[in-house]
A = this chain, B = another copy of it.
Amino acid sequence: MQTYEGKAIVLASRPTGKPAPDNFRVEDIAISHVPDGKVLIQNLWLSIEPYMMLSMKGSIPMSQRVHANRLNRLSDLYVSGVDIGQVMCGPTIARILVSKRDDFRAGDMVVAYGGWQDILIDDGSALLRIDPSAGHVTAQLGVLGIPGFTAYGAMREIAQPKAGETVVVSAAFGPVGSVAGQMARLAGARSVGIASGPDKCRRLVTDLGFDVALDRLVPDFAAQLAEACPNGIDVYFENVGGMIWWTVLPLLNERARIPLCGLVSRYASDGVDDGIDRSMEVIEAIQYKRLLIRGVSVFDYVPLEADFYREMAGWVERGDIRYVEDVAEGLASAPQALIDVLKGRNNGKMLVRLGRR
């Protein structure tokens, strides 16, 4: 067998605070043997996701579960931290180059958990075959993949928006938030998106059909949010935390639902905030307003998987749910892409396209 060569980006050091380019290192890789029962795959697209910051810091504090199906195998991968010297983790779109398994053939396109590298040996347990003729394969990393399924599960299980309600979504231009806000609109609710900067706000309304979009970076953001929600907030789909959390809290209606999906503003922080301890303020609000807050993990929604693929594929096909992608070119751009995602600088689902061999 020929020797396949490529590059990999490994974790050089753990970030202190925000990640920086020198936390990463490029290494050469070469593979000349595929063991029985394994496949050699070539990554074509990397998905850049905020949780990778947590992987860089060490393991994600979520227990691992052992189940037979692919989603639960994926959950084990998602919660594993990356060790120093190890290849950065993450979902990819890949092509099978060499197969020593009966269930995959060379040339098959798959969704993999392939990490930041050109090529790798994979045991096949977390691979999902995709049909490249069925449209944009990259949607499998976004609206039709883990981010879309996350939004779908949390909206169905926690948010349950009703017609006429007001649904506020933070990081609304991202792959999870954009699906959440559009699902709110499909349910007849009013969707208010929060994003960074005027360009994303404009596109939230024109491209993704949000009713209102608000720029979190303007000085009077809090006043604008209050004005945009004259009847209060019935659902807050939380992806960010921090300042946006505190701005939303007083506007929540009684019995509001809060899917707690992400806390991007926290991922690059040291987690210590001096000053007044506002924790009991949160707890009191939950009690007095009888709020429902629930942490979101896509891996809790396994029973909805068939519904998700059927329903979301239909919505995307009919244009009821649209998506926006932001593509960086070349493996070497992945670190900066992650840094940008953590700052909210990406314009839609962040992808890295790897050079074709």
Spell out A's residues near B (CB within 8 Å). 60-63, 241-242, 245, 254-255, 260-263, 266, 271-284, 286-297, 300
**Chain B residues near A290 (CB-CB < 8 A):** 294-297, 300
B284 near A263: Cβ-Cβ < 8 Å? yes
Interface contact B295-A245, CB-CB below 8 Å: no
**Closest CB in chain B relative to A261 CB, distance in Å:** 8
A245, B293: Cβ atoms closer than 8 Å: no
Q: How distant is A254 from chain B, measured CB to nearest CB, in Å?
A: 6
Tell me if B283 and A241 are in contact (CB < 8 A): yes
A282 near B284 with CB under 8 A, answer no
By a CB distance below 8 angstroms, the chain B residues around A281 are 271, 279
Q: Verify A262–B277 contact, CB threshold 8 A.
A: no
Contact yes or no, A60 B288, CB < 8 A: yes
Please determine whether B288 and A291 come into contact, CB atoms closer than 8 angstroms: no
Which residues of B are found within 8 Å of A245, using beta-carbon distances?
283
Q: Are B296 and A287 in contact (CB under 8 A)?
A: yes
Given contacts A273-B280, A276-B272, A276-B273, contact A288 B61 (CB under 8 A): yes
Closest chain B residue to A256, Cβ basis: B295
Residues of B close to A279: CB separation below 8 A = 273, 277-279, 281-282
Please give, as numbers and ranges, the residues of chain B lying within 8 Å of A62 by CB-CB distance.
254, 288-289
| Known contacts A63-B254, A254-B62, A254-B63; A241 and B289 CB within 8 A of each other | no
B288 near A266 with CB under 8 A, answer: no
Instruction: State the Cβ distance, A267 to closest chain B Cβ, in Å.
Output: 10
Docked Cα-Cα span, A165 to B274, in Å, equals: 36
Given contacts A62-B254, A290-B295, contact A276 B274 (CB under 8 A): yes
Complex Cα distance, B57 from A129, in Å, reads: 62
Residue contact A291 to B295, C-beta cutoff 8 Å? yes
Q: Smallest CB-CB separation from A54: which chain B residue?
A: B288
Which of B271, B276, B282, B300 is in CB contact (< 8 Å) with A282? B282
Provide 30 A-B residue pairs closer than 8 Å at the C-beta atoms, listed in order of the A residue: A61-B289, A62-B288, A62-B289, A241-B280, A241-B283, A261-B287, A263-B280, A263-B283, A263-B287, A266-B284, A271-B281, A271-B284, A273-B280, A274-B277, A275-B277, A276-B277, A277-B277, A277-B279, A282-B282, A282-B283, A286-B293, A286-B294, A288-B295, A290-B294, A290-B297, A291-B294, A291-B295, A292-B293, A292-B294, A293-B294
Q: Which partner residue on chain B sits nearest A275 by CB separation?
A: B277
B242 touching A280, Cβ below 8 Å? yes
Chain B residues, Cβ within 8 Å of A282? 279, 282-283
Minimum distance in angstroms from A81 CB to a CB of chain B: 13
Shortest distance between the CB of A11 and any CB in chain B (Å): 21
> CA A286 – CA B262 in complex, angstroms?
10
Residues of B within 8 A of A291 (CB): 293-295
* Cα–Cα distance between A283 and B262 once the two chains are bound (Å): 10
- Nearest-neighbour CB distance to chain B for A64, whole angstroms, equals 11
Q: How far is A97 from B60 in the complex, measured between Cα atoms in Å?
A: 66
Are A277 and B278 CB-contacts (below 8 A) given A255-B300, A290-B295, A295-B289?
yes
Contact of A280 among B261, B266, B297 (CB under 8 A): B266
Q: 17 extra interchain contacts, Cβ-Cβ under 8 A, other than A273-B280, A291-B294? A: A62-B289, A242-B280, A263-B283, A263-B287, A266-B280, A271-B281, A272-B276, A273-B277, A274-B275, A277-B277, A286-B294, A286-B295, A287-B296, A290-B300, A291-B295, A292-B292, A292-B293
